[in-house]
Amino acid sequence: MAKNYSCPSCGVAMIFDPQTQELHCEYCNSSYTLQEVREAEFDLAETIRRMNGNADPSENEEEEVGTISMRILRCSSCGAELASREGETSSYCAYCGQPTIVTERLQDCRRPDFIIPFKVTKERAERLVREQIAGGGFIPNEIRNFEPERICGIYIPYWLFDVYTSDGQLWKYNDGDDNTYYGYYAADSVFQRVTSEASRRFNDYFSAKLEPYRMDEVMRFDETYLSGFYSDQFDVSREEAGAQTRLRAKRLFSDKITERRKAMHAWLISSNPVAEEFRARYALLPVWFMTTRYRNKPYTVLVNGQTGKTVCSMPVNKVRAYGLFASVTAGVFALLMLLFTLINNKIFNMDTNAAGQRFVFFAVYVPVAAIAAVLLWSGFSAIKRLFRIRSGIRVAASDSNRDFSRERQG
């Protein structure tokens, strides 16, 4: 059965306070360390056991090794499921942002090995988002005065892998005198606690951005940290996450050693990247979810519950964006026309024939045309990044989160 951490003074359910890292009773305003709560619980259990005349404490042990009993809240709109300890209730879904009916059931969940408790308080998370959004020049004014409709803290499931990675690269290079030489480089590494997000409902676009988490602050799992928060459960298997992590480890490793090869201006002849994950642990990592509404559409903003890193993709204020684009274009055009008029006057006042003037003209304008071509090409390639922003905004709009969940659940 799920444990409910009651206040030793007044008996009301307590919640975990990220600021003090203690359990706090909002009713009588008292706080207790995890150790104090466990001791109080042990004393109570001992007293009950004595009153029942039960000699063996293990006879009352109801929890199975490796599982914890949680209350599962299921959103009837998007089908997302979130786990909560006793005491937390919800009338809306944190994923799709809809005030949908939530059904509940009790379920045994796999007990996580590790947890990073919330370090950022709800107030600080809200302040961080406000500061971030207020500084965004292209965010619509309605959002810049950020008023979150809902804020909730969710522990997101992750697999933490220890991965052995190695690579040997053989390359060739020229020394400048047409002599070809060869070189090789062999290196390995043990990556510790490489994160792989384990919830299909939580969007990969956001989870990648929420990183990095500081893994030196990871702690053995304790149910106490869940008080006052929700937690998602993993639905990506260890094997599936392991395959993704191997690819990620190979990429990280290869990026690192390719830097060395590029510094030598060498060509790669052979490479043999290997990655093998040999240990996987299940962990819960903290995230603040905030929903705000713009033109009747909910948008989700996230804050890393440990480091306070803000992650969002906000709609663009089109008037400002087009305004900036038009004014820069007009400014550059006017400046260049002035410059070209001066150059042309110089050319036409030159004491030479028409062929000579034409030669000077092309000598000046061909490099300018080359610069213009490069700028135009890089400008249009920047448009690709605009499409990335658009897809991010679509993800942030919770309606598409809902579609995402629906797709995943078939």
Partner 1 sequence: MELFYIVTGALLGVSLGIGLALRITVTLIMRSNDVGDYSGTCDDFGRGVQLCEEKDGMREKAAKKRYASARRKLERRREAVVRRAQSRYVSEGVQRLQEQ
User: For residue 63, how many other CB atoms are within 10 A of its CB?
Assistant: 14
Which of these, 104, 91, 86, lies nearest to 13 by C-alpha position? 86
Which of these, 204, 90, 107, 216, lies nearest to 158 by C-alpha position? 204
The tokens describing 390, both together, are 């658009």
What is the closest distance, in whole angstroms, from the C-beta atom of residue 351 to partner 1 in the complex?
A: 18
**C-alpha count within 13 angstroms, C-beta hemisphere, residue 333:** 6
Residue 307 in contact with partner 1, rule: CB under 8 A: no
Smaller CB distance to partner 1: residue 209 or 406? Answer: 209
Smaller CB distance to partner 1: residue 1 or 65? Answer: 65
Smaller CB distance to partner 1: residue 75 or 249? Answer: 249
Which of these, 160, 149, 2, lies nearest to 73 by C-alpha position? 2
Three-class SS state of 295: coil
Residue 211 in contact with partner 1, rule: CB under 8 A: yes
Residue 299 in contact with partner 1, rule: CB under 8 A: no
Residue 42 in contact with partner 1, rule: CB under 8 A: no
Smaller CB distance to partner 1: residue 55 or 382? Answer: 382
Among 3, 49, 309, 394, binds partner 1 (CB under 8 A): 309
Among 79, 87, 183, 308, binds partner 1 (CB under 8 A): 183
Among 54, 217, 276, 356, binds partner 1 (CB under 8 A): 276
The tokens describing 272, both together, are 């043999």
CA distances from residue 324 to 378, 381, 389 in whole angstroms, order as listed: 18, 18, 18
**369 Cβ contact list (under 8 Å, min separation 6):** none
Largest CA distance in the chain: 118
Handedness of CA 102, 103, 108, 110 (dihedral sign): negative
Among 272, 319, 352, 356, binds partner 1 (CB under 8 A): 272
Smaller CB distance to partner 1: residue 125 or 257? Answer: 257
Residue 308 in contact with partner 1, rule: CB under 8 A: no
CA-to-CA distance for 25 and 9, rounded, in angstroms?
9
Residue 79 in contact with partner 1, rule: CB under 8 A: no
Residue 350 in contact with partner 1, rule: CB under 8 A: no
Note whether 398 and 299 are within 8 A (CB).
Answer: yes
Smaller CB distance to partner 1: residue 53 or 137? Answer: 137
User: For residue 286, how many other CB atoms are within 10 A of its CB?
Assistant: 26
Residue 267 in contact with partner 1, rule: CB under 8 A: no
Residue 294 in contact with partner 1, rule: CB under 8 A: no
Among 72, 215, 243, 360, binds partner 1 (CB under 8 A): 215
Which of these, 302, 300, 309, lies nearest to 288 by C-alpha position? 302
Residue 176 in contact with partner 1, rule: CB under 8 A: no
What is the closest distance, in whole angstroms, from the C-beta atom of residue 175 to partner 1 in the complex?
A: 8
- The dihedrals phi and psi of 94, each to the nearest 5 degrees, come to -70, -25
- The dihedrals phi and psi of 150, each to the nearest 5 degrees, come to -145, 145
Residue 187 in contact with partner 1, rule: CB under 8 A: yes
Q: Residue 96 forms beta bridges with which residues?
A: none
Smaller CB distance to partner 1: residue 101 or 324? Answer: 324
Among 119, 185, 308, 403, binds partner 1 (CB under 8 A): 185
Residue 268 in contact with partner 1, rule: CB under 8 A: no
Note whether 230 and 84 are within 8 A (CB).
Answer: yes
Footprint (CB under 8 A) of partner 1, residues 136-165: 136-139, 162, 164-165
User: For residue 309, how many other CB atoms are within 10 A of its CB?
Assistant: 17
Footprint (CB under 8 A) of partner 1, residues 363-402: 365, 368-369, 371-380, 382-383, 385-386, 388-389, 392-393
What is the closest distance, in whole angstroms, from the C-beta atom of residue 214 to partner 1 in the complex?
A: 10
Footprint (CB under 8 A) of partner 1, residues 314-333: 314-316, 321, 324-326, 328-333
Smaller CB distance to partner 1: residue 44 or 190? Answer: 190
